[in-house]
Amino acid sequence: MKVNSRKALSRLSLRSLLASKKQNIITVFAIILTTVLFTTLFTTFISLRNTLNLQQMKDYGDSSYAIMAVGDEDELESLRGLPGVKDVGVSIELGYTPDKTFVAYCDQTASGFVFSVPSEGHLPSSPDEVVMSRAQLQKIGSDASIGDQVTVDYVVYSSDREVLVSDTFTLSGITSDDSHYILVSEDYARDVISDLSENIGMYLYAHLDFLAGSEFRVYDIAEELGLDPRCVLINPAFESSSDPLGPEGIAAVVVLMLLIFFTGFLIIYNIFQITVANKVRDYGLLKTVGVTSKQIRKIIRKQSAFLCIIGVPIGLIAGYLIGVSMVPVLLRQTVYGAITPVSGFNILVFLGAAAVSVITVLISSSVPGRKASKVSPIDALRYNEAKVSVSKREKVNASIPSMSFANLGRNRMRTFLVVLSISLALVLFDTLCTFIDNFDMNDYIQSHTPSMDFTVSTPSYFAGEHDDYLTLEEVSEISSHIESDHCGIAYMPENFSTYVDGRIDYPAQVVGVENELLSEVDIIEGDISSMYEDGTASVIATANSSLHIGDTVSVTFASDYHYRDPRTGTVYESPNDVPQNLDFYDLEMIPVGGEKEYRVCAITEDYPSSFSPLFIFADKSEQLILNEQQIDDLTDGHYSIMCFCADAVSSEAAAEAEAYLHELAGSSSHFDYTSIETVREDFDQFLGAVKYIGGFLCGIVGIIAVLNFINAILTGIISRKREFALLQAVGMTGRQLRKMLVIEGLFYAAISVLFSLPFALLVNTLFKRIDLFWSPSTAHLTVVPILILLPVLALLGSYIPCVIYGKVRGTSIVDDRRTNE
Amino acid sequence: MAILRAEGLKKTYGKGESRVEALRGVDLAVNKGEFVAIVGTSGSGKSTLLHMLGGLDRPTEGKVFIDDKDIFALKDEALTILRRRKIGFVFQSFNLVPVLNVMENIVLPLELDGAKTDKEHIDNIIEMLDLKSQIHKLPTQLSGGQQQRVAIARALAGRPTVILADEPTGNLDSKTSQDVMSLFRVTADKFSQTIVMITHNTEIAQTADRIIRIEDGLIANR
Ligand SMILES: Nc1ncnc2c1ncn2[C@@H]1O[C@H](COP(=O)(O)OP(=O)(O)OP(=O)(O)O)[C@@H](O)[C@H]1O
Ligand SMILES: [Mg+2]
């Protein structure tokens, strides 16, 4: 009969665990809660990050880590099978359509990377086949289905002239709208290139995906192949600086993690602490039999591990479900409100959350465990004899409230922890209420509403992309539905290709507006009356520019670029003139095109919110406002409608226009608009999310507080059962005993409220400093929410002890006697 | 040869006004196979002495030797291990682990040691203590006398060098007390087990080979 100590210890751990069921239920609950919190946090974080990251990739059009421009098939072949390289896709880019969709050949792998795997049909296999998305078909005005003929017009990449190609294909497949590509077959691509060969290099691209951790090798690989590092284009979605959640997001996760760790620790520590305190005698007893300190610690560790085995899996599942349901709510707060979230299901999330929970449990149980291991066997033996020594010290004739109060002081640490966790919930709740209360809708609307009632444009404008524009016919159709006495169009140059004083590095931002809209510009200095004159040279600059009143600026609208060698000063008019031995990257580009001189007549703080370009180049860009005639002259007609702005004549007219625009934006993905109503919706959504998430947090912290409280009361009763029996023996009635416990509960509540008041004020004061969501001048602090919770606390404080006492007393005084003898 | 030896044992509790000198210099030697009874009035220091002898507590001054080894030279952890290998305790209040059944209680110290249980030996003990029909019961399902027999079985299971018993009959009626005492006697004879036992009862003390009287923290001269 060979046995080892592990078995004996396991048996001891398990049996004594099973002997104290009530405490275990609370502990398991606490473990579940902690795990739920961690899992929710991680799942939400990962899922949010994956979703935003995927969206970044979709916006960029590619999901491979890097694209490498390679010279020929051989180089391509040598990329495959390199260590660290997971997948290589190949594409040959031919050119682009007028609306900037690429026309290219992609192999199976590459089509996966560029979100262009056909959802119906197949990739082009013969030269007359093509694959495109529904959205692209719509843009060229076709409703073809698979097998139908489609004509694609596009410009072939060419360095000196625009080679327009128009070909008719058979539609062989349809991709999702995420695709930025129109796919053709390899044979077709090679034919086009060889037909135009003299001016076109072969654009052969390798889309590289790496095994995790090998990404850094990409430049080494390029070097090994003898490629210029500039042939490597890293996907911006993978750059660490473009983490979709940003440093604030990650900081928030870390803070939340610490908070959860702390609350989890608080409650689990507390429970173990109390459990161990109740079993001091048992541990001492084990020591007389020869259980070492180490083995006692092991017993407690085993018990926590066992409770983890029950609690953690439940917590993981529940936390995952909660996390998944929270992602859409959070997503609505980002610019990607409408996208479908990617699941955060990741085995690492589970392992991580489980690990953090288990660590929390082990740390929280290790302190009480150490305490238990230090119990001296003598004390355990004496404990037996000195059964009533605690009560002896107490004056039995003391008043009941003073006895209750004295009880709180017996285990100061426990009392403190309970008070702390109740206070935490109170402070959090108060902060949330103050936040919601002070969050000023008018303030928000004022700062977020454009200066005019309606701004209408395309979704692309509102997303800051500026690659889809309204047409004049569309605007006149829209304006006919808005009864307005003050409206106008704002224009922008095509391709953003405007430069100030020939500076290529900082494209200038230019907006041209109809005269009607000039009055919307808030002038802080100068006079704009000269801008209404015919052929005027006056323009408005924003305060972000380096320009001042009276300055002359020369603006170029580039229709072409020349190349200058800074070392020799030679200017090459066409890329074809550039000698073979020179590298384009070493040359300066010089914009050439219509050039106009203007004089700054006025300065405005910023573009009016109604027609501000939402694409910002760089801090150093000059920002100008021109009138309609000026932008027409400057760009020689190459300008687009940025947006149409209108003020309604009356509130009825506004309501009608709102209804019309709402309908319009809902029915077509080509239109979008902002108005007071849409801002109000945004506001409601934002506030809704604050309430949802804040309420969730408050709820969790509140549950933790109540659990802590129940636990303190429960153990307070269990550990004093013998003492209660004595008190009853000397004449205390059951009613009086219950009264004592209720008063004890009320003391907890009262102390917690008193404790939390100054903290709530402090936190609110700190919050008030942040001029983010409310104006500090009008914000008012309040502790009313805490006071409102007072009766709830009082009710819980008196109800819980009653219930627990009733339950405990019902079963066990006799049992307990017997067990202890 | 003295298997258990104490030299100049002193133990002082508390400080200042509440200072108690529980032991004031005790010298003692117990030979192998000897059955010693310690008697004395309440508060004279008997339990304190027994605790020191068993290494449950450290003396203020003096040494205890078991098998000629100074046990207090050991660290706590090692002392605990020594205790479970060489000493069997029996207390007035049985001190059985309530969640383990009789058999599990008896073999607990052995299992904790990871030692091979000598099944024959255990069966012998159980037979002798008449616990055969009880081995699957929990301590709470046993009478006081039965519980104390389990405690004795547990003390014997590891073939300890010495059994230390603090008023083992204190919670038992006189008939049961007699039974327990004769068990001790038999054990001492049959296994030539060294036993040190505290008792209030001079009649019970007569069962022992030798009686030591403690008075006020010192061994009284006979
Ligand atoms: N942990 C302790 N702290 C303070 N004083 C103690 C402690 N343990 C024992 N004493 C004191 O030491 C003295 C001896 O106690 P001990 O328990 O050894 O007496 P005893 O002879 O076993 O008495 P009894 O027959 O009543 O069990 C007593 O005066 C007791 O009050
Ligand atoms: Mg005693």
Mean pLDDT, rounded, for A137-166: 80
Tell me, yes or no, whether A678 lies in a domain. no
Q: Please say if the pLDDT value at position A394 is more than 70.
A: no
Q: Are residues A646 and A743 in the same domain?
A: no
Q: Are residues A546 and A619 in the same domain?
A: yes
Q: Are residues A530 and A644 in the same domain?
A: yes
Q: What is the pLDDT of residue A688?
A: 77
Nearest to B99 among A4, A19, A818 (CB): A19
Query: Using 50, 70 and 90 to split pLDDT, how confident is the model at A393?
Result: very low
- Quick one: what percent of chain A has pLDDT higher than 90? 2
Q: Is A378 on the interface with B (CB under 8 A)?
A: yes
Neighbours of B59 (CB within 10 A): 23
pTM: 0.62
Sign of CA dihedral A45, A46, A51, A56: positive
For A411, the domain range is 393-451+683-821
Q: What is the pLDDT of residue A616?
A: 60
Q: Are residues A80 and A198 in the same domain?
A: yes
| Closest ligand 1 atom to Cα of A379 | 1
Tell me, yes or no, whether A240 lies in a domain. no
Mean pLDDT, rounded, for A563-570: 81
Paired strand residues for B87: B162
Return the ∠ at Cα B114 (arms to A308 and B162), rounded to 5°. Answer: 125
Of the listed ranges A73-77, A182-186, A304-308, B98-102, the least confidently predicted one is A73-77
Q: Count, in order, helices (H) and strands (E) of chain B.
A: 7, 10
Listed residue (A235, A234, A226) closest to A72, CA to CA: A226
Listed residue (B173, B196, B172) closest to B184, CA to CA: B196
Is A378–B56 a contact, with Cβ atoms under 8 angstroms apart? Answer: yes
Q: Is B94 left (phi over 0), alpha (psi -120 to 50) or beta?
A: left
Q: What's the B43 CA to ligand 1 centre distance in angstroms?
A: 5
Based on the structure, what is the number of domains in chain A? 4
Of the listed ranges A4-8, A163-167, B208-212, the least confidently predicted one is A4-8
What is the residue type of A326? M
Q: What is the pLDDT of residue A159?
A: 60
Listed residue (A109, A112, A130, A111) closest to A121, CA to CA: A130
**Token pair 């017996």 is at which residue?**
A410
Paired strand residues for A588: A564
Q: From CA A70, how far away is CA A68, in angstroms rounded?
A: 6
Of the listed ranges A142-156, A272-286, A389-403, the least confidently predicted one is A389-403
Q: Are residues A224 and A324 in the same domain?
A: no
Is B95–A15 a contact, with Cβ atoms under 8 angstroms apart? Answer: no
Tell me, yes or no, whether A519 lies in a domain. yes
Contact A455, A447 (CB under 8 A): no
Q: What is the pLDDT of residue A817?
A: 39
Contacts of A19 in chain B (CB under 8 A): 98-99
Q: What is the pLDDT of residue A3?
A: 47
Mean pLDDT, rounded, for A398-410: 71
Q: Are residues A720 and A784 in the same domain?
A: yes
Distance from CA of B145 to the nearest CA of A (A): 13
Q: What is the pLDDT of residue B23?
A: 93
Which ligand neighbours the alpha carbon of B165 most closely? 2
Is A9–B93 a contact, with Cβ atoms under 8 angstroms apart? Answer: no
Q: From CA A406, how far away is CA A393, in angstroms rounded?
A: 12
Name which residue leads in pLDDT, A720 or A324: A324
Distance from CA of B165 to the nearest CA of A (A): 12
Q: Are residues A6 and A107 in the same domain?
A: no
Query: Using 50, 70 and 90 to split pLDDT, how confident is the model at A777?
Result: low
How far, rounded to the nearest angstrom, does the alpha carbon of residue A415 sit from its chain's CA centroid? 38
Highest mean pLDDT among A162-176, A314-328, A430-444, B204-218: B204-218
Q: From CA A69, how far away is CA A73, in angstroms rounded?
A: 11
Return the ∠ at Cα B135 (arms to B133 and B136), rounded to 5°. Answer: 105
Name which residue leads in pLDDT, A331 or B5: B5
Q: Are residues A403 and A525 in the same domain?
A: no
Query: Using 50, 70 and 90 to split pLDDT, how confident is the model at A392?
Result: very low
CA-based end-to-end distance of chain B: 22
Which ligand neighbours the alpha carbon of A378 most closely? 1
Nearest-Cα residue of chain A relative to residue B91: A381
Q: From CA A95, how far away is CA A93, in angstroms rounded?
A: 6
Mean pLDDT, rounded, for A183-197: 82
Contacts of B112 in chain A (CB under 8 A): 5, 8-9, 289-292, 295
Q: What is the pLDDT of residue A728?
A: 67
Mutate to test the pocket of ligand 1, among B9, B12, B15, B20 (most ligand atoms within 8 A of CB): B20
| Closest ligand 1 atom to Cα of A385 | 27
Q: Please say if the pLDDT value at position A493 is more than 80.
A: yes
User: Which domain-ending residue is among A647, A670, A693?
Assistant: A670
Q: Please say if the pLDDT value at position B163 is more than 80.
A: yes
Query: E strand or H helix at B169, and its extent?
Result: none
Nearest to B111 among A8, A15, A18 (CB): A8
Neighbours of B75 (CB within 10 A): 8
Q: Is A212 on the interface with B (CB under 8 A)?
A: no
Domain residue limits, chain B: 32-60+75-221
Q: From CA A597, how far away is CA A611, in angstroms rounded?
A: 24
Q: What is the pLDDT of residue A259?
A: 67
Query: Using 50, 70 and 90 to split pLDDT, how confident is the model at A815?
Result: very low
Name which residue leads in pLDDT, B101 or A7: B101
Paired strand residues for B13: B20
Taking the CA atoms of chain B, what radius of gyration do you get in angstroms?
Answer: 17
Q: From CA A57, how far away is CA A234, in angstroms rounded?
A: 12
Listed residue (A821, A735, A750) closest to A789, CA to CA: A750
Q: What rounded mean pLDDT belongs to chain A? A: 78
Q: Which fold has domain B32-60+75-221?
A: Rossmann fold (3.40.50)
User: Which domain-ending residue is among A200, A234, A268?
Assistant: A234
Neighbours of A156 (CB within 10 A): 20
Mean pLDDT, rounded, for A51-55: 78
Interface confidence, given as ipTM, is: 0.78
Q: What is the pLDDT of residue A730?
A: 60
pLDDT in tens, A716-754: 777 677 677 666 666 667 777 788 888 888 888 888 889
Name residues contacting ligand 1 (CB within 6 A). Answer: A 382; B 13-14, 20, 22, 40, 42-48
Q: What is the pLDDT of residue A333?
A: 62
Q: Are residues A82 and A54 in the same domain?
A: no
Q: Is A402 on the interface with B (CB under 8 A)?
A: no
CA-proximal residue: ligand 1, atom 27 (nearest): B42
Q: Are residues A103 and A130 in the same domain?
A: yes
Of the listed ranges A504-508, A749-753, B86-90, the least confidently predicted one is A504-508
Q: Count, in order, helices (H) and strands (E) of chain A.
A: 25, 22
**Residue partners of A309: CB distance under 8 A and separation at least 6:** none
Alpha helices in A719-733 (DSSP H): 721-729
How many A×B Cβ pairs under 8 Å?
A: 90
Mean pLDDT, rounded, for A581-605: 80
The DSSP 8-state label assigned to residue A205 in this structure reads E
What is the residue type of A309? I
DSSP string, A376-421: -HHHHHHHHHTTTHHHHHS-TTS-HHHHHHHHHHHTHHHHHHHHHH
Name which residue leads in pLDDT, B108 or A336: B108
pLDDT in tens, A447-465: 666 678 888 988 888 877 7
Mean pLDDT, rounded, for A502-515: 80
| Closest ligand 1 atom to Cα of B49 | 18
Q: What is the pLDDT of residue A809?
A: 62
Q: Please say if the pLDDT value at position A776 is more than 60.
A: no
Q: Is A387 left (phi over 0), alpha (psi -120 to 50) or beta?
A: alpha
Q: Are residues A690 and A611 in the same domain?
A: no
Core vs surface per residue A664-688: b (16+ CB within 10 A) or e:
bbeeeebbbbbbebbbeebbeebbe
Name which residue leads in pLDDT, A526 or A335: A526
Q: Are residues A205 and A300 in the same domain?
A: no
β-pairing verdict for A509-513 and A552-564: unpaired
Structure tokens at A526: 């100068």
Tell me, yes or no, whether A577 lies in a domain. yes
Contacts of A373 in chain B (CB under 8 A): none
**Residue partners of A698: CB distance under 8 A and separation at least 6:** A425, A428, A429, A432
Contact B187, B149 (CB under 8 A): no
Q: Please say if the pLDDT value at position A383 is more than 70.
A: no
Name which residue leads in pLDDT, A712 or A772: A712
Query: Using 50, 70 and 90 to split pLDDT, how confident is the model at B24?
Result: very high
Q: Please say if the pLDDT value at position A188 is more than 70.
A: yes
Contacts of B89 in chain A (CB under 8 A): 288-289
Paired strand residues for B35: B195
Distance from CA of A750 to the nearest CA of B (A): 39
pLDDT in tens, A207-233: 888 887 777 777 888 888 777 777 788
